[in-house]
Chain A
Amino acid sequence: MTQKISIDKRNLWERIAGQGYLWLILFVLYAPILLIIVFSLTKSKVFGNWTGFTFDLYRNLFTGYDMTAQVRVDPNLYRAMLYTVIIAVVAAIISTLLGTVAAIGIFHMRQRHRKAVMFMNSIPMINPDIITGISLFLLFVFIGINRGLGTVITAHVVFCTPYVILSVMPRLTKMNPNIYEAALDLGATPAQALRKVLIPELWPGMISGFILSLTLSIDDFGVTFFTKGSNGLETLSTFIYADARKGGLTPELRPLFSLIFLTILVLLIISNIRTNKQVKK
Chain B
Amino acid sequence: MTTSTLSRLYDSDIAWNFRHSWMARISTVTLLLLFAAALFAPLLATQNPYDISQLFLLDSELPPSWVEGGDPRYLLGTDQQARDLYSSILYGLRLSLIVGFASVVLAAGLGISLGLIGGFVGGMVDGAIMRVADILLSFPAILVALLVNGVARGILPPDQHADAAIWVMILAIGLTNWVQYARTVRGSTMVERRKEYVQAARINGVSGMGIMMHHILPNVLGPVLVIATINLGMAVLTEATLSFLGVGMPATQPSLGTLIRIGNEYLFSGVWWVVIFPSVVLVILVLAVNLLGDWLRDALNPKLR
A and B part of one assembly? no
